[in-house]
Structure 1
Amino acid sequence: CTVKIIPKHIWEQVLPQNFPLSSYNLKPIGSGPYKLKNLAQDEGGKIVSIDLNRNPYYYGSASYIPKISFHFFETQDELTLAFRKGMVDGLSLPSPLATASGNLYALSLPRYFSVFFNLNQSAGGTQILAEKEVRQALNYAIDKQALIDEALPGQAKIVESPILPEIYGLEKPSKIYQYDPALAEEMLEKAGFAKVAEASLYLPPNSDSPRSVDEEGKRVKVVKKTPAFQFKSDLTVGSQNNEVKELQKCLAKDSAVYPEGEVTGYFGSKTKTAVIKFQEKYKSDILVPAGLEKGTGDVKSMTRKKLNEVCFETGEEKFPLKFTLTTVEQPLLVEVANQLKSQWQKIGVELEIKTYDISILEKDVIKPRKFEALLFGEVLGAIPDPFSFWHSSQKKDPGLNLASYDDKESDKLLEEARQSPDEKTRKEKLEKFQNLLIEQAPCVFLYTSDYLYMVSKEIKGIKTQTIFDPSQRFSGIEEWYIKTKRIWH
């Protein structure tokens, strides 16, 4: 982050951890072209507007516009309507307003939008996305250019890396996930996710209508359940342990094999007789392969294998290739999410989309990491430093490691890149980091787009520039003006 200069006489008595809660945040003092005049809040304490006046003590030229007001709206629709009615003169946009009358400024901003897979299963992640092969397949299945053409025509560029090498003059990554749906399907097959050939049905209790379990074309991974207990040791007369107890419990299920049904934990003559009967009952599986005619009464490999089959239910557990993608309740990102859903569906992935207002998303979803996959954006600074977004120490809030990515080698490279005063060394560390992270595929990098700012045609003097933070769109605001005079030459 960038550390700003703050007034010592105001902040020196405030502990750093108390900065966010300090009332001084609502009484800012700075050296810019404007100063705070008024801050209006509603009954709940939410800021609804901020008024600024020209700062007479500004070190530079006096601002042309004497007063500026910032107004805050609950929804994007309310903000857009206010602009169209002329109630506000400028607003930031996720995408151009088709019917708005204003000048659109596209400011270059080093940011990218990605799908972040939550690798922390204990928080909100899913077992499916914990598999690297699945994450890689999901990368190969996305046609990024087609997505941009559909959702952001002419407004975005493809991104393949967390450090935006084109912007910062770094080498491009050694591996890129070129669109290859055939390879994606092959990888999913190897990971055990087979396509369902036809829909299978089941009849729910107290219902006459069968329901679909596995829909045709979707992928499901079938895993055999491992029983909580299985026989692992050789057992014979004189053995005494928990396995003997389990053996006796199993044999007692068949009264013809073990009529006494005693469970003592001691392998005596009655247990041996029961084992012989069991061996002879399953002669073809136990005795014949060993070349024996009669049971021995000892529990060894062949007997143990059959006991595990007979005594404990294994069953199967199905894992459909299905997960939830969460994003901001914003038309552009919702459209991107729908494009992702459509493309992943072609390889048998079932995607559910959930959207939230940005304030709810940040508080209830991102902060506790309660999501399986998140479509979101991240902004890099003037100096490329992905530490905050990918170092394992940043997995929990207020850290910004949204994928909960945790890799010791990546951590080391990020730390060394931060600590090195040599620019060449920093670049080498970051380039190694990007290649390592892309191989692990904790996310799908999608696109980068300019920061769009729509301003009333009445306002002049705005310059298009590269910014490293959305607030920098106001750099040079002292040169903005409204009134113009005709000068005769």
Structure 2
Amino acid sequence: MSKAEPSSDQKPPKKRRQWRAFQRKPLAKSQLATRARKVESSTLRHAHRFVLKRLNSLRLARRHIIAWSIVVSVVLLGIGAQLFLYADTYTELAPARGGTYAEGAVGIIDNLNPIYASSGAEVAASRLMFSSLYSYDSTGKLIPDLAKSIKRSKDGDAYTVVLRDNAKWHDGADVTAEDVVFTIATIKDPEARARASLQVNWRDIKVEQLDDLTVRFSLPPYAAFAHALTFPVLPKHILQSVAPGALQENSFSTAPIGSGPFEFRLLQTSDSVANRKVVHMRANTNYYGGAPRLDRFELYGYESSDDVVLALKARALSGAVEVPRSVIPELGDAYTVQQHPVDNGVYVLLNNANPLLKDVKMRQIIQRIIDTEQVRADVGGGVRELHLPFIGEHIASGGLPAAPQVNRAKAAKLLDNAKWKRSAPDGVRKRSGKEELALKITTTKNPQYERAANSIAEQLREAGFAIDVVVLDDKQPNSNFIGNVLQQRDYDMLVYELPIGADPDVYAYWHSSQLGMTGYNFANYSNATADAALSSARDRADQKLRDSKYVTFAKQWLSDAPAIGLYQQSIIYVHRPSAHTMPSDAVFVSATDRYADVTNWTVESEEVYKTP
């Protein structure tokens, strides 16, 4: 059978596309070399065009860059040198906010209730944490504090004080007139046992509340009454339930609530053996006088100025008060030193009740012997002359008597005329060959007072007196200097510091009504002319008339010589150079007036640009 033919309806099979295999064509060596040369030539042209020319441009640019870099560097160095050399022209050091100021003060800290504050450290703590109706600014001027205004009645027997309405206690309660009335009532209450210097100001004064912010004081006419309004105000809402007799021992005395620029945080014992304590305070951000720039204030109480000096040398303090002048060189450049006079006078009081000193002629003899300029030099210098019973600058009208002149030749002649003859071999003067011209000089333990006492003793010994110097440590708890010595007037001559204040009213020290154990007439001085002048000056509102009365009193006082003014006291304050404290020209009535601008104190400084 033959093969079958395909039918007409069947498609013929597709033919597969066939690719020819890639065939390598042979390449002659001459052609390869030619092509290589072409590639090389093209590459060189490309490199020359895009690389070598740009490298040349880069070298040229590099020279310009280096040149400009040098120019810019020189300019920058010049600007830097100018800023370094003339930085003071553009910048200045300014106080920086924040930080902790640590201050050292002399005195044990046992009681933080201000009506019991006795040591310098306790009084300082009171000033920082409590407010007064009035206070002194950094110029020594009396200005309102808690008070907004004061009005004196026509006859001078009443003062009406209006309080500011934005003062608050540290617990947030409002300060009101009730607090003022409560404070004075507490001070006057004998069971409360407030310190005597506060009590004496309020014995004959009546206080009443007129409304929430108004108080009226009724009293015998007293021109200087406004100066008595610097007492610290206590919070009635905290203490009204405490019996007056239990107030001193109350917990408030170790954890007080005040209204001042700093509020209490902690009373810490840093040395139990030395009874050294630290009061930790923080800024009162709600203080009506403006929040302090410091965050915290730490007040360290030291037993003596020697302990303060040791702390300063250890760089443990930002600042300190009552630093002895003799140690200032030892502190080097670590602290800035400021000295400010205060309205206190250091006197040698002559006990007019003493058998020898009750004779005005003997007191005048001593007045002619003692060279107060020599005393001031012996205590270390740097203190002002004070020959009056008050601060002379407080009498604006002038006319004050001059200081007595030293005249030892005349003093010797007067002693001879009084039958006080020198005896051999000690040279001590005796009367009738038996009775020695002997006196005792008493003072308290204080380097400055001791030098003053020894200087006076040496001068009197040269004149033929037999002198003993007795130094009492009034800081010891069992010494009772006030009760056993001061109130008993147990001394012949006493080197003592009297707080005088910003007004010439020294009635408390020299009027005969202040004789006796409870009075402050420590010289036992009595003179009718002096009494009349002091009493009259208190009643007069006219300043010129008051001044004339005090001039009369000063003349009589110098003639009677119940005491001899040695010098006006001053305080030496040191602080770190970076700290900002009181102005260098500040005037203080008392040492705690250094806090007049404490809200502006800072512990560090920062550099700021000056503003035009």
Could you state the TM-score of these two structures normalised by the residue count of structure 2?
A: 0.56
- 1:414 match: secondary structure: helix
Structure 2 counterpart of 1:141:
369
Question: What is the aligned partner in structure 1 of residue 521 from structure 2?
Answer: 401
1:294 corresponds to which residue?
A: none
Deviation of residue 429 (structure 1)?
0.9
AA aligned opposite 2:337: L
Give the counterpart of 1:183 among 384, 399, 410. 410
Contact 1:175 1:438 in 2 (8 A): no
Specify the SS of the correspondent of 1:369: coil
CA deviations over 1:215-251 (Å, ceiling 9, x no partner): 3x211123xxxxxxxxxxxxxxxxxxxxxxxxxxxxx
CA contact (8 A) 1:39 1:47 kept: no
1:19 CA displacement = 5.7
Q: Which runs of 5+ in 1 are unaligned?
A: 121-125, 200-214, 223-316
Report deviation, 1:328: 2.1
Q: Indicate yes or no: 2:257 matched with 1:34.
A: no
Superposition pairs of residues 200-219 of structure 1, within 5 angstroms: 215=426, 217-219=427-429
Structure 1 counterpart SS, 2:593: helix
Q: Which of the pair has more CA radius of gyration?
A: 2
Deviations 1:117-149 (A, max 9, x none): 1223xxxxx311222111111110122223323
Answering whether residue 348 of structure 2 is matched by residue 115 of structure 1, we say: yes
Q: Is the 8 A contact 1:133 1:191 kept in 2?
A: no
Structure 1 residues 219 and 391: alpha-carbon distance in aligned structure 2, compared to 1, 3 A threshold: same
Determine the structure 2 residue equivalent to 1:248. none
For 2:443, which of 319, 323, 327 is the aligned residue? Answer: 327
Q: CA offset at residue 169 of structure 1? A: 2.5
The answer on 1:469 being equivalent to 2:590 is: yes
| Amino acid of the structure 2 residue aligned with 1:140 | R
Q: Give 1:75's aligned amino acid.
A: S
* CA deviation after TM superposition for structure 1 residue 26, in Å: 5.0
Q: Deviations over 1:418-462 (max 9, x none)?
A: 111111111111111111111111111112242221223332243
Identify which range, 35-44 or 164-173, moves more after superposition: 35-44
Return 5+ residue gaps in structure 2 as ranges. Answer: 1-131, 135-145, 147-174, 195-244
Letter in 1 for 2:375: L
Equivalent-residue separation in structure 1 for 2:536 and 2:253 (angstroms)? 34
Question: In structure 2, how many angstroms separate the alpha carbons of the residues matched to 1:352 and 1:329?
Answer: 15
> Would the aligned equivalents of 2:305 and 2:323 in 1 still touch at CA under 8 Å?
no
Structure 1 CA distance for aligned equivalents of residues 593 and 554 of structure 2: 27
Summarize the Cα distance change of 1:348–1:475 in structure 2 as closer, same or farther, 3 Å threshold: same
**Aligned partners of 1:391 and 1:410 also within 8 Å:** yes
CA distance in structure 2 between the partners assigned to 1:25 and 1:408 by the alignment: 44
Q: Assess, with a 3 A threshold, how the Cα gap between structure 1 residues 127 and 383 changes in structure 2: closer, same or farther.
A: same
Quote the residue 1:205 is aligned against.
none
Percent identity among equivalent residues?
A: 21
Q: Does 1:92 align with 2:265?
A: no
Corresponding letter in the other structure for 1:417: A
In the TM superposition, residue 363 of structure 1 has moved relative to its aligned partner by 4.6
Q: 2:430 aligns with which of 202, 220, 223?
A: 220
1:83 aligned residue (295, 312, 325): 312
The aligned counterpart of 2:422 is 195
The number of residues matched between the two structures is 372
SS in 2 for 1:477: helix
> Taking CA–CA contacts closer than 8 Å with sequence separation of 6 or more, which of the two structures ends up with the larger relative contact order?
1
Is contact 1:134-1:191 (8 Å) kept?
no
- Do the aligned partners of 1:327 and 1:375 also contact (CA within 8 Å) in 2? yes
Relative to structure 1, the CA distance from residue 35 to residue 148 in structure 2 (aligned partners, 3 Å threshold; closer, same or farther) is same
Preserved CA contact (<8 Å) 1:31 1:58 = yes
Q: Could you list the per-position Cα deviations for residues 52-103 of structure 1 after superposition, in whole angstroms to 9, with x for gaps in the alignment?
A: 2111211233212111121222222122212221223322226322312311
Paired residue type of 2:189: P
Comparing 414-423 with 329-338, which one deviates more in the overlay?
Answer: 329-338
Equivalence map 1:278-427=2 (5 Å): 318-359=434-475, 360=479, 361-427=481-547
Say which is worse superposed, 326-335 or 388-397, in terms of deviation.
388-397
Q: Cα gap change, 1:88/1:188 in structure 2, threshold over 3 Å: closer, same or farther?
A: same
1:11-22 to structure 2, matched below 5 A, reads 11=182, 14=186, 16-17=189-190, 18=192, 20=194, 22=247
